[in-house]
């Protein structure tokens, strides 16, 4: 009998792994360990991908097959960010010494090297962001310099015809990212000093970098990425919690918050209809897709199974950068140890927008000692949130915060670390909710 349960457990794990694996339509993947990757970008025509990392060189890949086409030399140091000019003529990369290298992309020849701190009495550190303006007239970057005990970050703009510096704002402490608006009239700078000294976005004129506006929503976590939607209606930010925040660019009012946590990369689809957030956590890596207008999650991909081929990777990979090709056919994600290109299903096949009127749920076994199962019968697909509360109405644990398909769904709850007593599960699916009582006995 004991052997039967062991076999059953192995089969269950195997079937579960297959189900997760099949949920992602992967175009190709490249496991690049021990090389660490930090940045990825589609070429403007969508036919090629470029990546950069601690190899110190640009690698160019066929975006459809994953074949390595060529490498671009001329840089010295780990590459942290890359960007194309909109016409595809130039490719720029910024490295661990805040040096920017610009190539003629077709020939692969270096056309310019910008070493802004050369000859300056300061220690050079890594670059944090690098963006061409959409009209190709300007190149902007966030570069870090200073001493071992105090590092400062500058935002700079260069003219791409002369490569002369046009303007700069100096000595920020926590700026991580920048992005040009689609019409290139303004640039968003994440994490400038503000009233709360954190989670503040500055809006500046281009190319003068004169301040125009400040977005302060008293968010509790630092902003790692900012991105304008291609239609110019929205500005988004990636945070630790919530995963993403989106503002209206017409008056900088809050448009929506994207649930979840630990977002490190964000992007809008080229048609501005969808918002994509790459999140990571203990032993999981999720890419969530949201419908902007409806403010609902339309699909979710768990990508942690991609790392299982490498048995020494216990915590999975971490999304460092992400890009979406111009036809919205593919999402390219780069992690510490690999490149992942997937065919995104922007709306899952089973998604139905009808609301759940009657939520059926139960928990078993109850009372529980070591673990319990929460069973949901969903009449249609829905975003489900499950939270565990103690008898004092204090939240103990987040059990589920994900998009689930219609039908019978079971979520496992580990209870062995919980003290004996009465607990309550609050289950929300769309606009319906249900509370279940759970008794823990030891």
Could you tell me which residues come within 8 angstroms of residue 3 by beta carbon, excluding any fewer than 6 positions away? none
pLDDT of residue 310: 45
Helix (H, G, I), strand (E, B) or coil at 256: strand
Identify the band that residue 342 occupies on the pLDDT scale cut at 50, 70 and 90: confident
Are the beta carbons of 335 and 341 closer than 8 angstroms? no
Helix (H, G, I), strand (E, B) or coil at 96: coil
| Window from 17-21, 72-76, 199-203 with minimum mean pLDDT | 17-21
Are the beta carbons of 355 and 283 closer than 8 angstroms? no
Identify the band that residue 360 occupies on the pLDDT scale cut at 50, 70 and 90: confident
pLDDT digits (tens, 9 = 90+) for 58-80: 999 999 989 999 999 999 899 99
For residue 242, cis peptide bond before it (omega within 30 degrees of 0): yes
Identify the band that residue 3 occupies on the pLDDT scale cut at 50, 70 and 90: very low
Identify the band that residue 178 occupies on the pLDDT scale cut at 50, 70 and 90: very high
Task: Provide the token pair at 137.
Answer: 């007239």
pLDDT at 12 over 70: no
| Closest by Cα among 178, 179, 173 to 146 | 173
Mean pLDDT computed over 280-299: 75
Torsion angle in degrees (nearest 10) through CA of 35, 45, 345, 268 = 80
Identify the band that residue 352 occupies on the pLDDT scale cut at 50, 70 and 90: very low
pLDDT of residue 6: 39
For residue 280, cis peptide bond before it (omega within 30 degrees of 0): no
Mean pLDDT computed over 347-355: 43
Mean pLDDT computed over 409-414: 90
Which DSSP state fits 8?
A: H
CA angle 23, 18, 323 (to 5 degrees): 35
Are the beta carbons of 369 and 415 closer than 8 angstroms? yes
pLDDT at 225 over 80: yes
Instruction: Give the integer Cα–Cα distance in Å for 236 and 292.
Output: 11
pLDDT at 309 over 50: no
Are the beta carbons of 201 and 192 closer than 8 angstroms? yes
Task: Provide the token pair at 258.
Answer: 């994207």
pLDDT digits (tens, 9 = 90+) for 382-403: 778 888 888 777 788 888 877 7
Fold annotation for 25-342: Methylamine Dehydrogenase; Chain H (2.130.10)
By CB atoms closer than 10 A (0-12, 13-18, 19+), residue 34 is exposed
Residue 68 neighbours by CB distance under 10 Å: 12
Average pLDDT over all residues of the chain: 82
pLDDT of residue 417: 87
Are the beta carbons of 412 and 373 closer than 8 angstroms? yes
| Closest by Cα among 399, 381, 383 to 436 | 399
pLDDT of residue 130: 98
Mean pLDDT computed over 350-373: 70
Task: Provide the token pair at 208.
Answer: 């003068």
Higher pLDDT, residue 221 or 249:
249
Q: Where in the chain is the domain with CATH 2.130.10.10?
A: 25-342
Instruction: Give the integer Cα–Cα distance in Å for 125 and 136.
Output: 26
Q: Where in the chain is the domain with CATH 2.60.40.2550?
A: 352-440
By CB atoms closer than 10 A (0-12, 13-18, 19+), residue 64 is middle
Instruction: Give the integer Cα–Cα distance in Å for 247 and 59.
Output: 35
Mean pLDDT computed over 197-205: 81
pLDDT at 108 over 60: yes
| Closest by Cα among 333, 393, 385 to 40 | 333
State the alpha helices, DSSP H only, in 237-321. Answer: none
User: What is the domain class of 352-440 according to CATH?
Assistant: mainly beta
Going along 66-164, which residue ranges are E strands? 68-72, 79-84, 90-95, 99-104, 110-115, 123-132, 138-146, 151-159
pLDDT at 313 over 50: no
Three-state SS annotation for 409-424: EEEEEECCCCCCEEEE
Identify the band that residue 345 occupies on the pLDDT scale cut at 50, 70 and 90: confident
């Amino acid at each position: 009998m004991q052997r039967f349960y062991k076999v059953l457990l192995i089969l269950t794990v195997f079937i579960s792994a297959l189900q997760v694996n099949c949920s992602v339509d992967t175009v190709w993947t490249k496991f690049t360990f021990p090389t660490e990757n930090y940045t990825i970008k589609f070429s403007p025509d969508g036919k090629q991908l470029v990546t950069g990392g601690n190899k110190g060189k640009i690698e160019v890949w066929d975006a459809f097959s994953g074949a390595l086409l060529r490498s671009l030399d001329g840089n010295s140091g780990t590459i942290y960010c890359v960007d194309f000019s909109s016409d595809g003529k130039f490719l720029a990369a910024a490295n661990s010494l805040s040096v920017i290298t610009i190539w003629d992309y077709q020939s692969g020849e270096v056309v310019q090297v910008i070493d802004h701190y050369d000859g300056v009495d300061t220690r050079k550190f890594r670059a944090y962001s690098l963006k061409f303006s959409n009209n190709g007239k300007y190149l902007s970057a966030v570069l870090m310099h200073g001493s071992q005990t105090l590092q400062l970050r500058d935002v700079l703009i260069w003219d791409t015809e002369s490569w002369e510096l046009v303007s700069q704002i100096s000595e920020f402490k926590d700026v991580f990212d920048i992005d040009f608006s689609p019409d290139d009239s303004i640039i968003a700078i994440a994490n400038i000093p503000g009233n709360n000294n954190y989670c503040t976005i500055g809006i500046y004129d281009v190319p003068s970098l004169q301040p125009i506006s400040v977005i302060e929503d008293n968010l509790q976590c630092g902003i790692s990425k900012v991105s304008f939607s291609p239609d110019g209606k929205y500005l988004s930010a990636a945070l630790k919690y919530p995963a993403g925040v989106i503002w209206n660019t017409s008056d900088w009012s809050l448009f929506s918050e994207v649930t979840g946590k630990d977002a490190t990369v964000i992007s809008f689809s080229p048609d501005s209809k969808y918002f994509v957030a790459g999140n990571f956590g203990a032993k999981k890596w999720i890419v969530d897709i949201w419908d902007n207008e409806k403010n609902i999650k339309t699909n979710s991909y768990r990508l942690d199974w991609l790392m299982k081929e490498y048995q020494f990777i216990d915590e999975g990979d971490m999304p460092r950068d992400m890009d979406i090709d111009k036809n919205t056919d593919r999402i390219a994600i780069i992690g510490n140890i690999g490149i992942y290109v997937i065919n995104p299903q922007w709306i899952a096949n089973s998604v139905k927008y009808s609301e759940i009127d009657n939520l059926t749920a139960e928990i078993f076994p109850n009372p529980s000692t070591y673990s319990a199962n929460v069973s949901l019968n969903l009449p249609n697909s829905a975003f489900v949130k499950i939270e565990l509360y103690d008898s004092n109405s204090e939240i103990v644990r987040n059990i589920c915060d994900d998009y689930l398909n219609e039908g019978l769904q079971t979520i496992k709850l580990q209870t062995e670390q919980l003290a004996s007593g009465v607990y309550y599960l609050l289950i929300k699916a769309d606009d319906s909710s249900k509370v279940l009582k759970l008794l823990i006995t030891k």
